[in-house]
Structure 1
Amino acid sequence: MQWLLDRFAAADPTLKAFVHKGQAFTYGQMSARIAELTAELRERGVKAGHTVVVLADYAPDVFCMILALASLKALVVPMTRGSVIEEGEALSISGCDHAIDFAPDGLSWTLKAHEVPVSNPMLDEFRASGKAGLILFSSGSTGKPKGMLHDFERVMDKFRVQRAPVVAIPFLMLDHFGGINTILAITASLGTVVTAEDRAIATICAAIQNHKVELLPTTPSFLTLLAATDLAQRYDLSSLKRITYGTETMPQATLDRIRARFPGVELQQTYGLSEVGVLRSQSRPDGSLWVRIGGSGFETQVRDGILWIRSDYRMVGYLNAPSGFDADGWFNTQDRVEVDGDYFRILGRVTDLINVGGQKVYPAEVEDVILAQPNIADVVVVGEKHALLGQIVVARIALHEPEPLADLRLRIRKACLAKLTAYKVPAKVEMLDQAIYSARFKKMRR
């Protein structure tokens, strides 16, 4: 990672690296702060191979702390207060030697010994290699969360080739691979990271307006909520040049609405997994959900309709689960895809499929039809157990304006029958009575 520190040191020292709470933090300040924190951590007993939890959200000092720990060849476990993983459960998998807790404003921190011993041959072998490590966790939506060990320096190496700098908001959280990937991509190209107080739509829009943000990397769920409001008209978002979206399937209806709201903005679908990294991508320019993915260090392959990836930036392995890689290093993404030349269309996770009497239903396909109907603010489609059919399709809907449930059910059924085969039509239509998004702004289908 020395190349990255050298790039920061060689940059114009007055160049903005962060804008945090309205205050600029320059690359000159960042370079000095990383060196200062590295010395302080070493003096306070943090050594190579130690596992260190960093509880924080985005802030200049947080990023400097993570790079300082990497300089010391520690194993970094980033966590957030809004994490979908309980800290105790995470540490029972990763182990821990020290805990660094940042204040919510990211301006002060405490370091304390926090010993959680874990016996793990993979961790022992990795420590012996003398490399910096990064440990992240899956959301655990299908069971116990999986701990993923990455060679942190290999993760950084993806950004050696310097690209054009941008002003961007790191929307995806710090404990998410996409969040780490975003902040490394911005800073490795000497761009500017604009932090936000929270991920509320109005807060993000205000940050874009106030700091002339050019790039917004986000999720389809956030864009669905944005499209259901008038905030794009109430704030000046004209600085935006590109919106990227990933981590879940994008409804075509949402994409169409966002294209209409932001006609001059490039909309780019991204694709990546914590296990293999984030691939370079190019959306087809026809406004569809077809995307070309790959890039240097990545290979793709489709087996029986499922996407497999081989990556130079893959994780070392799962800490608490069998390897997800085959003997040749290919990873099963569990994503079913359609193929058109060198473009893919992501249909959805195999684990999200609804099995109606042996027939497979992709929730995103049904959601797309419903979202296109009038007065629909949002929808989540799930499977519900059924004695005869195995599962039935259930649509839970949020409305812009109140509407009698009987009327809603009738028109949703008619709309779905006009577009979908009968077994895909929701057997139940319910009003949303709870949050449907995780802290990572992804739909929760379980």
Structure 2
Amino acid sequence: MANLVALEMPIGVSLVDFIKTCADNHEAFTVLDPNLSPQRRSELLDTLRPTDLIDATGHRQKLEGDPVVDGDGAVVLTSGSAGRPKAAILTWDALQASATLTTQALARDGEQCWLAAIPPMHIGGLAVLLRSVLADASLLFDASIESAPALGATHVAVVRTQLHRYDTSHYQCVLLGGGPPPPSVPDNVTTTWGMTETGSGVLYDRQPLKGVELAVVNGELLIKSPTLFRAYRDRPRPEVSTPDSDGWFPTGDGATLIDGQLQVHGRLANVINSGGEKVWPEDLEELFRAIEGITDLAVVGRDDVEWGQRVTVVAVSDREASELLNRCRALARERFGPWAQPKAIELVSAIPRTSNGKIARGLL
């Protein structure tokens, strides 16, 4: 068995050095945000159950946690967009495979220097650091997204909000993840799909990385990959079989696969069943973002006696609700059909989101 060391420190050189030390000592690690509230910190420690904790000063203390299996490398929290986050265990072999495959796939001219612009508590930000720890990339800290290229940064990983807000045209490669991409992106942007359980992105521009296998069974995306997690902290990894082989991981995402091109629709658990028709909230959210006067939104299904669920828009806006609802209905009818039209709109002051920007649907 091996120790699980919680690294409670900000992103920076010290954090990377301690990750390297864990690798050298054959210990697993998890990254804990030093700015958590006491209650949230206690909740996450209960989920992660580390055996040791190292703080920003380098002080190490023993905790009453549980060790992990030899060979385990990192325990990473899922986004928790649908509720309590799960703690996924990734082996050092899986982390190495992810770092190697992604570094190779994102190679451009010369050496890679990544700006660390995403918090490392989740897999997207952690993967950037591991491309330095386990591959041959270098890292840049303490620079803004727009100033970093002048300081030598060639690569950056961002979420959609950052891509919208900042000029990223001077990077060789911008890796865009964390949710559905916009309809079009600049030439230097690579879109990615992945999840904590797949060890970061395994699809780039809708194509699988080397060694990654895809299948779609009953509308659900299945994955085989050398980057897959070993288990959750409190349960085994779920697996399903296809007629051809065993050991597939059911991602919980709905998808279609046509001529090798994968289209991911969103979480199956989020599908709205209204009058027998299935409505993907992510598709409507993408459509409604273009409506003038809506600053943020989510689409949800509310229980309905007649329809089973009614499509409902939850929006942040200073416009009249009836005006926005009519516009949403017209767009949905034109793009998808009458069955996709929202039946209600709710105006709120803010859309709850997770720490990495995803809609916290469990709070809506």
Which TM-score bucket, shorter chain as reference?
A: 0.7 to 0.9
Question: In the alignment, is residue 278 of structure 1 matched against residue 226 of structure 2?
Answer: no
Against the structure 1 CA distance between its residues 360 and 196, is the aligned structure 2 distance closer, same or farther, given a 3 Å change threshold?
Answer: farther
Structure 2 match to 1:35: none
Q: CA deviation at 1:186?
A: 4.7
Q: CA deviation at 1:247?
A: 3.1
Question: In the alignment, is residue 115 of structure 1 matched against residue 46 of structure 2?
Answer: no
Letter in 2 for 1:248: G
Question: In the alignment, is residue 59 of structure 1 matched against residue 12 of structure 2?
Answer: yes
Structure 1 match to 2:43: 89
Contact 2:11 2:120 in 1 (8 A): yes
Letter in 1 for 2:61: A
Find the aligned partners of 1:141 and 1:282 in 2 and give their Cα distance: 23
SS at match of 1:270: strand
Contact 2:73 2:91 in 1 (8 A): yes
Aligned counterpart for 1:181 among listed residues 122, 127, 130:
127
Against the structure 1 CA distance between its residues 393 and 116, is the aligned structure 2 distance closer, same or farther, given a 3 Å change threshold?
Answer: same
Contact 2:79 2:354 in 1 (8 A): no
Find the aligned partners of 1:217 and 1:365 in 2 and give their Cα distance: 24
Find the aligned partners of 2:125 and 2:83 in 1 and give their Cα distance: 23
Give the gaps of 5 or more residues in structure 2: none
Q: CA deviation at 1:312?
A: 1.8
Find the aligned partners of 1:83 and 1:305 in 2 and give their Cα distance: 38
SS at match of 2:251: strand
Q: CA deviation at 1:279?
A: 4.8
Find the aligned partners of 1:268 and 1:398 in 2 and give their Cα distance: 30
Structure 2 match to 1:320: 234
Question: In the alignment, is residue 255 of structure 1 matched against residue 183 of structure 2?
Answer: yes
Letter in 1 for 2:326: L
Against the structure 1 CA distance between its residues 415 and 302, is the aligned structure 2 distance closer, same or farther, given a 3 Å change threshold?
Answer: closer
Identical-pair percentage: 19
SS at match of 1:380: strand
Aligned counterpart for 1:293 among listed residues 184, 204, 208:
208
SS at match of 1:204: coil
Structure 2 match to 1:139: 79
Contact 1:413 1:426 in 2 (8 A): yes
Q: Which string of whole-angstrom CA distances, capped at 9 and with x for unpartnered residues, describes residues 148-172 of structure 1?
A: 2221244124445774422322333
Q: CA deviation at 1:82?
A: 5.7
Find the aligned partners of 1:426 and 1:81 in 2 and give their Cα distance: 41
Contact 1:277 1:311 in 2 (8 A): no
Against the structure 1 CA distance between its residues 390 and 187, is the aligned structure 2 distance closer, same or farther, given a 3 Å change threshold?
Answer: same
Question: In the alignment, is residue 439 of structure 1 matched against residue 355 of structure 2?
Answer: yes
Structure 1 match to 2:298: 380
Contact 1:90 1:147 in 2 (8 A): no
Task: Count residues in correspondence.
Answer: 351
Q: Which string of whole-angstrom CA distances, capped at 9 and with x for unpartnered residues, describes residues 208-260 of structure 1?
A: 4653543231223544x53xxxx54xxxx44123222223223xxx333xx3x
Contact 1:53 1:78 in 2 (8 A): yes
Contact 1:137 1:148 in 2 (8 A): yes
Letter in 2 for 1:336: G
SS at match of 2:7: strand
Q: Highest CA radius of gyration, 1 or 2?
A: 1
Find the aligned partners of 1:82 and 1:427 in 2 and give their Cα distance: 40
Structure 1 vs Structure 2 CA RMSD: 2.8
Contact 1:395 1:429 in 2 (8 A): yes
Letter in 2 for 1:255: P
Q: CA deviation at 1:65?
A: 0.7
Structure 2 match to 1:69: 22
Against the structure 1 CA distance between its residues 372 and 53, is the aligned structure 2 distance closer, same or farther, given a 3 Å change threshold?
Answer: same
Find the aligned partners of 1:255 and 1:195 in 2 and give their Cα distance: 30
Against the structure 1 CA distance between its residues 403 and 141, is the aligned structure 2 distance closer, same or farther, given a 3 Å change threshold?
Answer: closer
Structure 1 match to 2:177: 246
Find the aligned partners of 1:196 and 1:308 in 2 and give their Cα distance: 38
Letter in 2 for 1:316: R
SS at match of 2:95: helix
Find the aligned partners of 1:141 and 1:377 in 2 and give their Cα distance: 20
Find the aligned partners of 2:320 and 2:48 in 1 and give their Cα distance: 50
Q: CA deviation at 1:329?
A: 1.7
Against the structure 1 CA distance between its residues 361 and 239, is the aligned structure 2 distance closer, same or farther, given a 3 Å change threshold?
Answer: same
Q: CA deviation at 1:179?
A: 2.0
Find the aligned partners of 2:85 and 2:292 in 1 and give their Cα distance: 38
Contact 1:55 1:78 in 2 (8 A): yes
Contact 1:53 1:79 in 2 (8 A): yes
Structure 2 match to 1:395: 313
Larger proportion of helix = 1
Aligned counterpart for 2:261 among listed residues 343, 348, 358:
343
Against the structure 1 CA distance between its residues 195 and 83, is the aligned structure 2 distance closer, same or farther, given a 3 Å change threshold?
Answer: farther
Against the structure 1 CA distance between its residues 412 and 95, is the aligned structure 2 distance closer, same or farther, given a 3 Å change threshold?
Answer: closer
Against the structure 1 CA distance between its residues 331 and 211, is the aligned structure 2 distance closer, same or farther, given a 3 Å change threshold?
Answer: same
SS at match of 2:303: strand
Structure 2 match to 1:370: 288
Q: CA deviation at 1:187?
A: 5.5
Against the structure 1 CA distance between its residues 195 and 275, is the aligned structure 2 distance closer, same or farther, given a 3 Å change threshold?
Answer: same
Find the aligned partners of 1:325 and 1:82 in 2 and give their Cα distance: 36
Using the size of structure 2 for normalisation, the TM-score is 0.85
Q: CA deviation at 1:188?
A: 4.8
Structure 2 match to 1:423: 339
Q: CA deviation at 1:362?
A: 0.5
Against the structure 1 CA distance between its residues 333 and 239, is the aligned structure 2 distance closer, same or farther, given a 3 Å change threshold?
Answer: same
Using the size of structure 1 for normalisation, the TM-score is 0.70
Contact 2:203 2:209 in 1 (8 A): yes
Letter in 1 for 2:273: N
Structure 2 match to 1:204: 145
Find the aligned partners of 1:292 and 1:244 in 2 and give their Cα distance: 14
